[in-house]
Structure 1
Amino acid sequence: MQTLTQDMKNHSFKPVYLLYGEEAFLKNSYKNQMKAAVTAGDTMNFNQFEGKGIDVREIISLGDTMPFFAEKRLILVENSGFFKSASEEMASYLSQIPDTTCLIFVESEVDKRSKMFKKVKELGYAAEMERQDMAQLSRWAGTLLSREGKKITGHTMELFLNMTGDDMENIRMELEKLISYTLGREIITDEDVETICTVRTTNKIFDMVAAIVNRQTKKAMDLYEDLLTLKEPPMRILFLIARQFNQLLQVKELMGKGMDKGGISSKLKIPPFAAGKIMPQARTFSREQILSYVNLCVEAEEAVKTGRLNDRMAVELLLTQKY
């Protein structure tokens, strides 16, 4: 991402860029920054395309059109699918882009083996926007708070991030709530965080999984009702429970191989603080326990798909299972 910042600072742009990865907030932020830097607010020489089924020839025609009283024409293409399915015509054009045109792709799905990806790497720059680790998120959130004249301790920041998760857009929204809530005060406390911040669905799932395996049926059902109240669909809840058990199983096996938090985080592509939270839970349960619930999740999903159970009942039966 340093390359993007440097190119914007020097106002020296490559013919093609690709912004991709899990962190939607960063993709959107750099997309907007690049757009502002290349066009300087000029809408006459800016074109935007979004979604699958884009006419490649229209992009090529625009790319070959000289900008009107400007140095560059910017073409922004979002979620095109060009980096997942073959797009020979588009890939071939990347080698022929005029110096007066800049192409920026913003994609959710990218195959690094694709011809498009390799062409962008060869001719321009591909920036992967990954989930940030706790240290990076702490620094970023701390900077946003500092701009508003707020201070926060390391412990309170850790509590905050454990509640919000690692999604930067969610963190930003929760910070706005905290800043408004503490208007007139400089220090943000644990009590402020606990009072005003919304616990992410994934945090409730984590607690629900612990309740299921510890046979705390009432607690698990209460958490389930909370999620239903928040309009979470039962099948999404089932998916998240299954994902949590699968992560527990993977963490359990990697810990058995002597892997530490950093290694597990890298291997499973989850934030280090998330790995640090899962590891103690993985120690608590046997591999057989976890595997049993992984299988129960599969059975519950199958029961819904075959019509033997409705979605809500399937999740309720899973929560009340005794291993």
Structure 2
Amino acid sequence: MQTLAQDIKENRFKSVYLLYGEEVFLKNSYKNQLKASITQGDTVNFNQFEGKGIDVRELISLSDTMPFFADKRLILVEDSGFFKSPSEELTTYLPQVPETTCIIFVESEVDKRSKMFKKVKEIGYACEMERQDLNQLAKWAGTLLAREGKKITGNTMELFLHKTGDDMENIKMELEKLISYTLGREVIEARDVETICTERVTNKIFDMVAAIVNRQTRKAMDLYEDLLTLKEPPMRILFLIARQFNQLLQVKELMGKGMDKAGIASKLKIPPFAAGKLMPQARSFSKEDILSYVDLCVDAEESVKTGRLGDRMAVELLITKKY
């Protein structure tokens, strides 16, 4: 992402960019920044394509068209599927993109082994927008609050991020709610977070894992449906379930060695607040139970990758333990 920021700052752009990855907020942010910097508000020399079935020859024809009274023509291509099912014609063309054109691909799905992906890396810049870790998110959220004249302690920020999860768009919305709620006050307190902020994915995953192990299938399925309604992909839900079972296993082993909350948080690189929630859950489950679900998560992922099961069905079978 530093390369993107540098290109925008210096107003020097590569012929082709690819923005991809899980963090939608970052993809949209850099897409909009690149668009604003390249076009300077010019709509005449801006073309946009979206979805599968794009006419490749039309795209190439526009790319070869000189911009009208401007330095650059920008072509924005979103969710084309070209990086899962590459177009040979477009892949071959990319090195021929004229200096007067910039093409930006913004994709949800990418196969890094594809010729198209390798070609963009070779001649342009491919940037993966990954979910940010807690330290990065805390720093970013603190900066947004500081701009509004707000202060927040480290413990309150941990509580806030525990409630919101790691989705940056959701964090931004919850911050806006907090700022409005604390109008006239400088310091945001824990009670403000508890009162106004909505719990998101990670908390539902925590409750889902408890329901799965305690055989509360209906509750676990209800939580799963809630996450699907929030447009969480089944494979991300599976990843989060697997991550929590692995964390529970680690926490249980560290507790067995006499380690306290601070030590566990430091060892696993998680907030003390999160460690404090995991410890009672780890106590309530046997090591054998946790291990069996770690294995089930591996089986579920393997079933999806080999095509034996659809992603949604794989998670449902995990929840009901019917593998």
* Category of TM-score, reference length = shorter chain: 0.7 to 0.9
Structure 2 match to 1:247: 243
Structure 2 match to 1:96: 96
Aligned-pair distance for 1:201? 3.8
CA offset digits 1:211-239 (Å, max 9, x no partner): 553x496xx977876887x6966xx8998
Distance in 2 of aligned mates of 1:44 and 1:63: 13
Q: How does 1:306-321 map to 2 (within 5 A)?
A: 318=320
Distance in 1 of aligned mates of 2:250 and 2:282: 10
The answer to whether the Cα contact below 8 Å between 2:164 and 2:201 also exists between their aligned partners in 1 is: no
Distance in 2 of aligned mates of 1:131 and 1:178: 22
Structure 2 match to 1:193: 193
Structure 1 match to 2:74: 74
Aligned-pair distance for 1:202? 3.3
Structure 2 gaps, min length 5: 254-263, 301-312
Structure 1 match to 2:61: 61
CA offset digits 1:247-284 (Å, max 9, x no partner): 3444467787xxx989978xxxxxx559x659745576
Structure 1 match to 2:130: 130
In structure 2, the CA distance between the partners of 1:41 and 1:183, relative to structure 1 (3 Å rule), is: same
Distance in 2 of aligned mates of 1:38 and 1:237: 33
In structure 2, the CA distance between the partners of 1:245 and 1:72, relative to structure 1 (3 Å rule), is: closer
Q: TM-score, normalised by structure 2?
A: 0.77
Structure 2 match to 1:30: 30
What one-letter code is carried by the residue in structure 2 that aligns with 1:18? L
What one-letter code is carried by the residue in structure 2 that aligns with 1:246? A
The answer to whether the Cα contact below 8 Å between 2:77 and 2:104 also exists between their aligned partners in 1 is: yes
Distance in 2 of aligned mates of 1:262 and 1:42: 50
- Give the secondary structure class of the aligned counterpart of 2:198: coil
The answer to whether the Cα contact below 8 Å between 2:162 and 2:202 also exists between their aligned partners in 1 is: no
In structure 2, the CA distance between the partners of 1:286 and 1:241, relative to structure 1 (3 Å rule), is: farther
The answer to whether the Cα contact below 8 Å between 1:15 and 1:99 also exists between their aligned partners in 2 is: yes
The answer to whether the Cα contact below 8 Å between 1:178 and 1:197 also exists between their aligned partners in 2 is: yes
Q: Note the aligned Cα RMSD (angstroms).
A: 3.9
Distance in 1 of aligned mates of 2:99 and 2:233: 50
The answer to whether the Cα contact below 8 Å between 2:14 and 2:102 also exists between their aligned partners in 1 is: yes
CA offset digits 1:132-178 (Å, max 9, x no partner): 11111011101111111111001100100000000000000000100
The answer to whether the Cα contact below 8 Å between 1:296 and 1:318 also exists between their aligned partners in 2 is: no
Distance in 2 of aligned mates of 1:2 and 1:240: 26
The answer to whether the Cα contact below 8 Å between 2:208 and 2:220 also exists between their aligned partners in 1 is: yes
Distance in 1 of aligned mates of 2:238 and 2:265: 22
What one-letter code is carried by the residue in structure 2 that aligns with 1:181? Y
The answer to whether the Cα contact below 8 Å between 2:249 and 2:291 also exists between their aligned partners in 1 is: no
- Give the secondary structure class of the aligned counterpart of 1:210: helix
